[in-house]
Structure 1
Amino acid sequence: MTGPGPTLSVVIPVFNEESALPLLARRLRAVLDDLAEPYEVLAVDDGSTDGTGGRLAGLRAGWPQLRVLRLRRNSGHQAALLAGVFRARGAYVVSIDADLQDPPEVIPEMLRRARVDGLDVVHGVRADRSRDTAFKRWTAAGYYRLMRRLVGKQVPAQAGDFRLLSRAVVNELRELPERNPVLRLVVPWLGFPSGEVSYQRAERVAGRTKYPLSRMLGLAAESVTSFSAAPLRLATWLGLAGVAICGTLVVVAVLAWAAGATVTGWPSLYVAVLFLGAVQLLCLGLLGEYVARIYTAVQARPPYLVATDTAEPADPTGPGRVELVDSLR
């Protein structure tokens, strides 16, 4: 691309969203065209296996601002989001999901607040989640309470990956050595001036959720181990508690023996063995989570592989070429 970059880049991680894309394109394009600002829409196809790729190609034929970045394989929502944010060229970068639960109509207000109030980050905060299931609301509330306790009050409650970032924030993110950052925690941690725009969370317009319980638990585990050593301290406290309880049981046993009140039996031994075994396994599991992160960091594998980017000229070596993209640069 020659000349100055666009004012606004909108990054959309996409995985098997064939049915949602036309609805998203219609609403998003109307909002962005009304801004009268140079913009690009960067759709990151995260290894979709349905007709998402063809749908994006069809939309791009009639929407010149649409840019498609295709990853070689499914790398996960956070990796796809990171790929789009790092490749975006706008002075401001907005990330939004394809399911329209986060309304594109909020984007102009985000941009206005960033300019008028001099903000580098504007979080989209879900003021009303009544359309989510009770289980989803309960687990989300628990996640944000835990993150605010571990990371700090700068993490906004009920703010997901719908946000606006300035170019300064994006450049700072690129300099971080962390290979798989959780952006909803890393961005507040950077300390840039930030604000919030609230909105009502809608129902998914089409398709199925890409964040089932297993992925939500995975995100929670990644968030905790990325930002806090509290689980390791928990293992230490559990070990100390085990030592204290066992010491107490030893004193009780000695006193019972001295009083001649000992009874041969298995219950006390059975409970003690189970307790100590459970504490040891839990501590090993917590240690294993951190060792796994060290192992991943030592491997130094890129978090995503870019196959094609419609903003770049075709590679003369052929379409099979794969570009390895390192999240560090």
Structure 2
Amino acid sequence: MSGVPELSVVIPMYNEEAVLPALVARLRPALDALGVSYEVVAVDDGSADGTASLVDDLRIEWPHLRLIRLRRNSGHQAALTAGLHRSRGGWVVSIDADLQDPPESIGDMLRLAREKNLDVVYGVRGDRATDTPFKRNTAGLYYRLMRRIVGPDLPSQAGDFRLVSRSVVDVLRRMPERVPVYRLLIPSLGFSSGSVSYTRERRAAGETKYPLRKMVALAWDSTADFTAAPLRLATWLGMAAFTASLVAMVFGLVVWANGTVIPGWTSLFLAVLLFAAVQLICLGLLGEYVARIYRTLQNRPAFHIGSDSADTSAAASAVPAQRTPATMP
């Protein structure tokens, strides 16, 4: 496909070989029905199965399909960043490969953006009945917490299924974050936005790529990237510990003045452990932020492009994660 497409669809993929046939069967008709020129940017995030090979085979029958291969597994947000940075469309949609977010909603997003002159259209999960109660409850807690951090502009139950204009992508390419959390970063930019509600479906095939460990990591990245509240929490814990030590000193003086001897060492031992634990928590929180500063100063790429089927140059390129934009093919 030649020329600049009107629409780019970015799909991060990691070990999605099982779901790819179902994805293509639904995505291609949905995009063909839009009547606009488009490209599908499949970003293989260092898959260990045959995902990349299958996408390459599918490109023979579907010339709109484009394959970007990362040299190693860099994570969902990094793969999404690679796709956004190298997308060419005037509008860019990001969607996961598992078909929990319906490709048919892309048309609704594009129409809403054009009719109301919006820069961002979020896909909002109106019904999450297919998720487990644990995931629904933890997701609800996550969005309530993030709305307190980012502000009311953050749409509830909006993940990484969204449509953005080229103006938004250009701003995102200049952002200093090493690996941005887009579900928080994009609402914080203040672009005009709307939303399209949909029913979240079950994963079409394969296994989830977001287990509890990654969900906790996402929650921490979201918190640490957008607020210094944990540092303030460390300060308050330190103040509380200092106040408690003052109270303990007054109590000790009163006991000494009354001539009462407190036997045993258990209370002293527990107190030392308590204060030591608070200090370690504070040091740990400080260390997390110092580590982020260190990684930022290193300015290392968050991902490395191994190949891009739309790139006419023979040499593979590395896309820096901050400040320096990627070279467009």
TM-score by length of structure 2 reads 0.96
Matches of 1:217 and 1:255, distance apart in 2: 46
Aligned pairs (5 A) from 1:226-265: 226-265=225-264
Deviations 1:166-221 (A, max 9, x none): 00000111111222211111100110001111111111011111111111111111
Superposition deviation, residue 323 in structure 1: 1.4
Residue identity in the other structure for 1:323: S
Aligned to 1:114: 113
- d(CA) in 1 for partners of 2:189 and 2:86? 20
Which residue pairs with 2:82 in the alignment? 83
Partner in structure 2 of residue 53 of structure 1: 52
Residue identity (%): 59
Structure-2 separation of matches of 1:248 and 1:263: 16
Q: Hey, which bits of structure 1, 4+ residues long, moved more than 4 A?
A: none
Could you tell me how far 1:108 is from its partner in structure 2? 0.5
Q: Aligned partners of 1:310, 1:243: CA distance in 2, in Å?
A: 60
Partner amino acid, structure 2, of 1:16: N
Secondary structure of 1:304's match? coil
Shift of 1:2: 5.3
Structure 1 match to 2:304: 305
Counterpart Cα distance in 2 of 1:88 and 1:129? 30
Residues in 2 aligned to 1:62 and 1:173: alpha-carbon distance in whole angstroms: 33
Give 3-state SS (helix, strand or coil) of 2:33's partner.
Answer: helix
Which runs of 5 or more structure 1 residues have no equivalent in the other structure? 316-320
| Cα shift readout 1:76-117 (whole Å, capped 9, x = no counterpart) | 000000100111111100000000000001100000110001
Q: What count of residue pairs does the alignment treat as equivalent?
A: 323
Cα deviation, 1:37-85, whole Å, max 9, x if unaligned, reads 1011000001111011121012111001001111111110000001001
Measured in 2, the distance between the counterparts of 1:302 and 1:128 equals 37
Distance 1:52 1:35 in 2: 27
Name the residue aligned to 2:197.
Answer: 198
Alignment match, 1:14: 13
Q: For 1:186 and 1:309, how far apart are their aligned partners in 2?
A: 26
Which AA in structure 1 matches 2:31?
L
Instruction: Measure how far apart 1:154 and its partner are.
Output: 1.2
What's the CA shift for 1:271? Answer: 2.0
Alignment partner of 2:93: what SS? strand
Instruction: For 1:156 and 1:262, locate their aligned partners in 2 and report how far apart those are by CA, in whole Å.
Output: 60
> In structure 2, how many angstroms separate the alpha carbons of the residues matched to 1:78 and 1:2?
28
**CA offset digits 1:309-328 (Å, max 9, x no partner):** 1111251xxxxx54111133
User: Per-residue CA shift, 1:210-240, capped at 9, x if unaligned?
Assistant: 1111111111111111110000000000000
Q: Distance in 2 between matches of 1:2 and 1:140?
A: 41
- The code of the aligned residue for 1:74 comes to N
Q: Does 1:67 align with 2:66?
A: yes
Inter-partner Cα distance in structure 2 for 1:29 and 1:115: 21
Distance 2:173 2:19 in 1: 30
The answer as to 2:268 corresponding to 1:266 is no
Letter in 1 for 2:320: D
Q: Paired residue for 1:164?
A: 163
Instruction: Report what 1:129 is aligned to.
Output: 128
1:1-56 superposed Cα distances (whole Å, 9 cap, x missing partner): 754x1111000000100010010001000100011110110000011110111210
CA distance in 1, matches of 2:48, 2:71: 11
| RMSD over equivalenced CA pairs, Å | 1.1
Are 2:185 and 1:186 aligned? yes
Q: 2 CA distance for matches of 1:205 and 1:253?
A: 65
Select which of 292, 311, 324 maps to 2:318. Answer: 324
Give the aligned residue type for 2:291: A
Contact kept in structure 2, 1:72 and 1:322, CA below 8 Å: no
